[in-house]
Each structure stands twice: as C-alpha cells, then as structure tokens.
Amino acid sequence: MADVITGEAVALELPVATFPSRIAALLLDMLVQFALLLIVIIVLAGASGSVSSDYGAAAFVTALVVVLVAYPTAFETLSRGKTLGKMALGIRVIGDDGSPVRFRQALVRALVGVFEIWTFVLAPIGLITSIISARGKRVGDLFAGTYVIQERVPARRALPVEFAAVPPPLADWAQLLQVSGLSDQTAEAAGSYLRRFTELSPQARDSLGVQLANAVAAQVSPPPPAGTPPAAYLSAVLAVRREREQARFAALPTAPPAPATPDLPAVATPDLRSPATVLPEPPTTALDLPGLPPPA
C-alpha cells in the first residue's frame, strides 16, 4: 500500500500494482505495438515501387516514433493513466501526489521506456528499481514522478467490531448528527484508519487520528462532546452515515400507502423534504480534538 495525501490533508491507501500485473500489461501493449508496426511494414513494402527508399525510411522512422512514443503518451494522457494493456489488467499510472498523470509525465515515461523497454539499455536498472522501490517504480517512473496502482482490488476487510457501531456514550449525540456534507474520500480515509488502528504505532495512531477527526469535523455537525477520542468519533460518524445510506436505499422502492381503517385513524407523516424541516448547514470550522490516551 502507498499513502497519498489528498486535498483534504488526509492519508489515503492506494494499492501499488504488483510486478506480474505490470509485466502482463506491458506484454499486451507490446503485442499491440508489434501489430501496428507490422501493418506499417506491410504498407511500406506494398508502396516501395512508387516511393523512393529515403521516403520509405522516413515514413518508417515516423511510424516507429508514433507507435513507441505517441501510443503510450496519448493513451495515458487521455485515459488518465491507462493504456490498452493497463485497462485489461486493471492498473493505471498516477503522480506521486495521487493526482492523474499529466501529458509531461506520460511523455517522459514513454521516452525513457524506449531505452528501458525496447532497446534494453536501461532494462537491468529498471528491473532493480522496480524490485527495491516501495512503489515498484521503474526508471521512467523515477524521472516522471509517477507510479502504477492497482484499481481492481479484492473486497476490503470489514471494520473491527469495536468500531462498527456508535459507541454507547455517543448514542444521544449521534441522533443529531448531520453527515450529508461528508465526502466519500474523507469517509474512506477514516475507514482505512480504523481498519488499520491496531497496526499503527501509538504515535502515528494519535497524530493521524487527530488529523482525520479534524477533517471529518469540518464536514459534519454538530461537534462531538468534549473529550471524545478521535477513534470513537470517527466510528460514530461512519456508523451513522452507513445506517442512513442503508435506510435511504431501502426506501427507494416506495410502496403505496395503506388505507386507514375505521378503528385506527391515519397518522399524518411530516414531509421531511419540506423546506420547513431542513436543518441548517453544518459549520465548516475544524474541530481541535484531543489525542488518544496513551495505551495501557
């Protein structure tokens, strides 16, 4: 896994693509490029009688540049980091900061790849850097400031039992919680933190918990009771968000209302979508939560 700092100043986990998946994607791309070059050779061979050898050589060099350099550059720029081989293997290229790959980065990767992959000049160095790098970077990635992540990942593990529900001391407060402003990115970062809670060192657990709690508190309201540990606060917010999402999806197939019986008068249900029942927007001020207490 690789930690990427997002715009909300929270850490996200991005799974680095495995070496076999990168090799398989590279072989698929090379197969496509070989096919394109074969087509060019056949076309030039058929037109050899009508054009001079100089024009034929210039056309072949141009086709070589287009296939070896323009093909990966255009695909990775337009598809936000994917070539045909990467699409098939479910991987893509991103910047070191987690941003989509830019044209300059894709071009640098393609130019270095000509020497690293096709001429095998830098192949030994690229193999070594891919093995020893924590993000599996080849030489082109080192020059471009990129690395490859795995988009198709197995199902993530569930939250620990102690973080899967609202803590009892926060039950009354959780009923007033407004989580509509919580972004998916921030919620995913909080869930990743809770899943790795026992794996982190106490110092990293405390500092990252306070950062995530402040990021979440800037998007939800009201603030938690004073002295709430960050882990308890995050688990309560995620539990409330999960329960309300499940309730919203369960209510989508609306059944027709049952007729009122003479014995039981119908009870009028207020329309929660009415402007009169809309709660005020949550404040956007960050919450300065205390750190977690030291472990016993």
Q: What is the pLDDT of residue 39?
A: 92
Alpha-carbon gap, residue 185 to 283, rounded angstroms: 19
**Which residues of the chain fall below pLDDT 70?**
1-14, 49, 51, 153-157, 252-296
**How far apart are alpha carbons 99 and 148 in whole angstroms?**
12
User: Can you name the residues that pair with 16 across neighbouring β-strands?
Assistant: 149
> Residue 15: which of 194, 191, 158, 148 has the closest Cα?
148
Distance set, CA 139 to CA 80, 117, 170 (Å): 20, 10, 51
Q: In this predicted structure, what is the pLDDT of residue 155?
A: 58
What per-residue confidence (pLDDT) applies to 142?
A: 94
Nearest alpha carbon to residue 33 among 85, 78, 80, 77: 85
In single-letter form, the type of residue at position 239 comes to A
Contacts with 110 (C-beta within 8 Å, 6 or more apart), sequence order = 68, 69, 70, 71, 72, 73, 76, 140
One-letter amino acid at 205 equals R
pLDDT 10s digits, 222-273:
999 988 999 999 999 999 998 888 887 777 655 455 555 555 454 444 444 4
Would you say 150 and 21 are in contact if contact means Cβ atoms under 8 Å apart?
A: yes
Rounded distance between C-alpha atoms, residue 205 and residue 199, angstroms: 9
pLDDT at residue 256 in the model: 52
pTM, two decimals, is 0.52
The pLDDT of residue 253 is 57
Instruction: Give every CB contact of residue 263 below 8 A, 6+ residues apart in sequence.
Output: none
pLDDT at 57: 84
CB 93 within 8 A of CB 25: no
